[in-house]
Structures are given as C-alpha cells and as structure tokens.
C-alpha cells in the first residue's frame, strides 16, 4: 500500500511539472489558459505551428465552429489588444506594442509591433484567448473565415498577372498570383514552408503556375523596394531562370538586403556588371509600382496575399489551405 501511495504521489508531481511547462494563466481567473508566450521563442514565427492545436480544441468545445464562439463580457478592440500586449510583455519580452484592432464579427484582429514587424493576432472579444492565425479545416470553415474577412475571403477577384515572372507551366490549369515583399517574415515563411510543397504536388506536375508580383511595404521594410528591383533586373538581363534564382537568394538572405548585398548576390549568380547599372538607375521601379497599384486595387493591404484563380487567400496560410482551393479548381 505504501508503495502504491508513493507511486501516485510521483505521478502527481510529474503531472504538475508538465502542466507548468505547457500552460500559463493570463490573470487570476482559473478558467483562463493560453500557450506560453510565443514571442520569447528564439524564432517567434514558430507560433504558427501551434495554430492547428488551438483551432482543433476550440472546434471540439464549440460545435458551432468559427461563428459559434460565445465567451465572457465583450471588451473593446483596443482594450482586448492592450490586455494581450501587457500580458506578453510581463513574460519577459518587453518590446511588444499595440498598433490597432479590427472587428471581425466574432473575434478581434489585433495588430502588434514586434522587432520592427507588424504581427496580426486573433483574439476572442472578451480578451481571454488568442491565436496567430485562423486555419480552415473544412469547407464550412473556409466559408466562415471568408465571411469574417480573414484568411480566405468570399467572392472572386479578376487579378491580372500583368507581365510578371511565372514559375511552372504557363499553360497550367490553375493560376496563383502572389503579392509579396522580400523583407516580410510571413512571405519568407510561405517561401520556405508552403511553396516547396506546392511545387512538389502541383507546380512541377504542370497543374499550377505561380506568378510573383511585388508589394513592398516600404514604411516598415526599407530594403524591400530595392530587393524587388534586383529580382526584376536579374530577369531583364538573364530571363526567368535568373529571376527565380535571385528570388530564392533574397529570401535565403532576408536579413541582409542592402544595395551592397544585392550586388554581391548578383555576382554570386553570375550576372554581368550591367546588373549594377540597372539597380542603381532605378529603371525597374516603375514595374514594382505597377504591381503595387494593381494589388491595392484588388484590396491588398498586407503581405503575402494570394489569388488562386481569382479566389483570395490572405496571409502565410498552411499548404492545406492552398490544397483545398486548388483541388476545388482542378475538379470544377
């Protein structure tokens, strides 16, 4: 009997330690729990890996899905956002600031500033639970998110591919138009995690083509404009292949995009001296500006933004979100 009691006590201790490592409370309310502060991680974008877990738990508890959230007393968007920022900063980060809030109907989209980047967080209106992004798990969820103005948006937009670089078979059945920024961390996330899967499953098989259009957010990404011009200069001089090599090089070296760095990358890629002349002259700036004007006319106000056969998909969504829309288009 004594041994059994000792074993039970050991199990309780282990459980308590594990619980302490995986759960934190926002305040003294015993019902409030959230994942550990993601901004204290070495790479804050790892937060996205927790999204599926959060969404699945929410959907299991609230059978109504996204539109069925019912929580406590509603706060204003600013109050909910500042409560979250205060909590994150008490966890040791100390440099996160509130920027703005947007009412999505059932949630608030809170934009915070961290490490000179603008980061959206979706939080319940009582300010108790938050996630980095909303991930659609089925067709109903896609429709819900579309109606909310987040992630997949309702309706189709006749987005032009202009004369921009094409990755894949130009006659592919499905077209993805991407508006992106070489200095944007979410764009780099798409490039590093989702694009390889899209290439393997669809682009390399001739089913999908990707068209890259520039949308540099120069207010917060001072090197994005010249980086975009660098890719266009590479394309002008040595064609589509050179463009995509420079495109990859820029995302690989996102933290080093000064003009000096861009010229160094051009030499590494074997581009001639005329690249420097092209970059210094700013002759490709008009091409970048045209992309940005078109994007704005389609409702793009952040990056990355995608149009899959005209269907908008906003943010660094996982491969599953792209797959669902692509498969629908291929089977239409």
The pLDDT averaged over each successive group of 10 residues in the chain (332 residues) is 56 42 40 42 44 44 41 79 79 72 79 70 74 52 44 66 93 97 94 96 97 93 96 97 97 96 98 97 96 91 92 89 94 87
pTM (2 decimals)? 0.59
Q: Please give the pLDDT value at position 145.
A: 43
- Residue 307, token pair as written in the block: 């149009």
Q: Please give the pLDDT value at position 56.
A: 41
Q: Please give the pLDDT value at position 65.
A: 41
C-beta contacts of 230-233 below 8 A and 24+ residues apart: 230/262, 230/265, 230/266, 230/275, 230/279, 231/165, 231/182, 232/284, 232/287, 232/288, 233/266, 233/275, 233/278, 233/279, 233/283, 233/284
Q: Please give the pLDDT value at position 104.
A: 76
Q: Please give the pLDDT value at position 158.
A: 84
* Dihedral in degrees, nearest 10, Cα atoms 216, 217, 221, 222: 70
- Residue 110, token pair as written in the block: 């809170």
For the chain, which domains are there? 15-136 (3.10.450.520), 166-330 (3.40.30.10)
Q: Please give the pLDDT value at position 75.
A: 85
Q: Please give the pLDDT value at position 91.
A: 59
Q: Please give the pLDDT value at position 19.
A: 36
Condensed to tens digits (0 to 9), the pLDDT of residues 96-134 reads 888 888 887 778 888 877 666 667 777 788 777 665 455
């Amino acid at each position: 009997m004594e041994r059994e009691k000792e074993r039970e006590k050991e199990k309780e201790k282990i459980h308590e330690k594990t619980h302490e490592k995986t759960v934190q409370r926002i305040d003294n309310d015993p019902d409030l729990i959230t994942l550990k502060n993601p901004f204290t991680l070495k790479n804050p974008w790892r937060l996205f890996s927790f999204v599926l877990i959060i969404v699945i738990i929410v959907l299991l508890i609230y059978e109504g899905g996204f539109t069925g959230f019912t929580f406590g007393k509603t706060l204003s968007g600013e109050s909910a956002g500042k409560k979250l920022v205060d909590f994150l900063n008490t966890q040791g980060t100390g440099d996160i600031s509130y920027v703005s809030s947007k009412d999505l109907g059932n949630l608030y989209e809170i934009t915070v500033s961290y490490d000179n980047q603008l980061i959206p967080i979706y939080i319940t209106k009582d300010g108790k639970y938050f996630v980095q992004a909303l991930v659609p798990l089925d067709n109903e969820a896609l429709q819900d998110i579309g109606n909310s103005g987040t992630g997949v948006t309702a309706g189709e937009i006749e987005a032009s591919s202009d004369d921009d670089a094409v990755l894949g078979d130009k006659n592919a059945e499905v077209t993805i138009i991407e508006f992106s920024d070489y200095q944007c961390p979410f764009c780099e996330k798409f490039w590093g995690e989702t694009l390889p899967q899209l290439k393997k499953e669809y682009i390399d098989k001739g089913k999908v083509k990707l068209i890259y259009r520039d949308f540099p957010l120069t207010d917060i990404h001072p090197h994005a404009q010249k980086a975009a011009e660098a890719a266009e200069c590479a394309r002008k001089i040595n064609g589509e292949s050179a463009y995509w090599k420079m495109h990859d090089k820029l995302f690989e070296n996102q933290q080093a995009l000064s003009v000096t760095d861009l010229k160094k990358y051009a030499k590494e890629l074997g581009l001639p001296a005329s690249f420097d002349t092209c970059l210094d002259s700013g002759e490709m700036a008009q091409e970048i500006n045209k992309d940005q004007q078109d994007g704005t006319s389609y409702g793009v106000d952040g990056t990355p933004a995608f149009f899959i056969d005209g269907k908008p998909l906003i943010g660094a969504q996982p491969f599953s979100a792209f797959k669902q829309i692509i498969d629908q288009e291929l089977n239409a």
